[in-house]
A = this chain, B = another copy of it.
Amino acid sequence: MDIATGAGLLAGLTVVVTIILMGGDLKAFYDTHALIVIGGGCLASTLIRFPFVAIVHGLPLGLKFAFTMRSTTSRDLVDELARLAEVARKQGPVGLEKVDTDDAFLAKGIRYVADGYDMDFIRDNLERDRDNFLMHLDEGQKIYRAIGDCAPAFGMIGTLIGMVQMFSNMSDPSKLGPFMAVALLATLYGALVANLFCLPIADKLHVKLADEETNRTLIIDGILMIRDSKSPTLVREMLLAYLPEKHRHEEGEPVPA
C-alpha cells in the first residue's frame, strides 16, 4: 500500500469538500451534465488516441501501481536473492521449491530454477515478462497524462455548452446566476480531475516505472546467477554493484570498516 497516494487523494478530497461545506452544501456542486461531459469526453478522446488493448491493460495497472508499494526495497531484494543463492547452494535447485516469497515476479523466476529450465529459456521468459509489464505500465502512465491534458479542455467545452444554453434560453436575467453556476461546474470538474488525480498519478507512475525496471532487471540477473550456482557472496556483491547509486546505500551514515 502506497500510503502517500491514498493520503494525497484523501487530503485533496477533504480540502475540496471542506471549502464547499464552509460556503454552502455539497448538492450545489453536483451536476450530471458536467460529469457526463468530462467523463464521456475523456473516454472518447482516449479511445481514439490509444489502441484499445493499451487502455484495457494500462488504466487498471497504472491505478494498481499508483496505490501499492513494493514491500521490498532494491536493497532487500539483493539480500533475498543472496539468501536464495544460499538455499540453492546447500540444498540444490530442488530446495528452492519450498521457498516462499511475496514478489510474484521473483516467485516465477524461482519456480523456473527449481523446475530445472536452462538459462536461455529462463532469461528469455523473464525478460519478455519484464518488457511486457514495463510497456503496459508506461502505456498506463501515458494514458493518465493524456487524460490529465484533455480534461480541462472538456471542462471548457462543458462550460461553453452550458453558457450557450443559458444565453439563448434566458428570458429572465435573474436566473442567470444558477445557470452560470452549473456551467462553471464542468470547468471545475475538469481542473480537479487533471490537477488532483490524473497528472499527479502520471508523475508517480513515471517514478515507479524506473524503480520497477531496476528491480525486475535485478531479479533476472540474480535468478540467472542462482541458476548458474554462483556463491551467495558473489551474488550479493555483483547485484550491489549493479544497483544505481541511490539504491545502493540506504542508511546514509557510513561506518568505519
Contacts and interface: CB of A to CB of B under 8 A. Distances in A.
Interface of A: 3-5, 7-9, 11-12, 14-16, 18-20, 22-24, 28-29, 32-33, 36-37, 40-41, 43-52, 55, 66, 115, 117, 121, 124-125, 128-129, 131-132, 135, 146, 150, 153-154, 156-158, 160-170, 176-178, 180-181, 184-185, 187-188, 191-192, 194-196, 199-201, 203-204, 207, 245-246, 248-249, 252, 254, 256-257
A41 B115 contact: no
B195 A154 contact: yes
Contacts of A18: 36, 40
B161 A20 contact: yes
A132 to B, nearest CB: 5
B24 A128 contact: no
Contacts of A47: 4-5, 7-8, 11
A152 B165 CA distance: 20
Number of copies of this chain in the oligomer?
5
Nearest to A191: B157
Contacts of A177: 166-168, 170
Q: Which 5 A-B pairs have the closest CB atoms?
A: A15-B40, A8-B47, A12-B44, A8-B48, A48-B200
A48 B125 contact: no
A257 to B, nearest CB: 6
Contact of A22 (B33, B167, B245): B33
Given A28-B164, A191-B157, A254 B128 contact: yes
A11 B162 CA distance: 19
Given A115-B256, A164-B184, A177-B167, A132 B8 contact: no
Contacts of A154: 195
A115 B256 CA distance: 10
B195 A11 contact: no
A219 B44 CA distance: 33
11 contacts: A9-B48, A16-B41, A28-B164, A28-B165, A50-B204, A51-B207, A129-B254, A146-B203, A153-B194, A163-B181, A170-B177
Contacts of A165: 20, 23-24, 28, 181
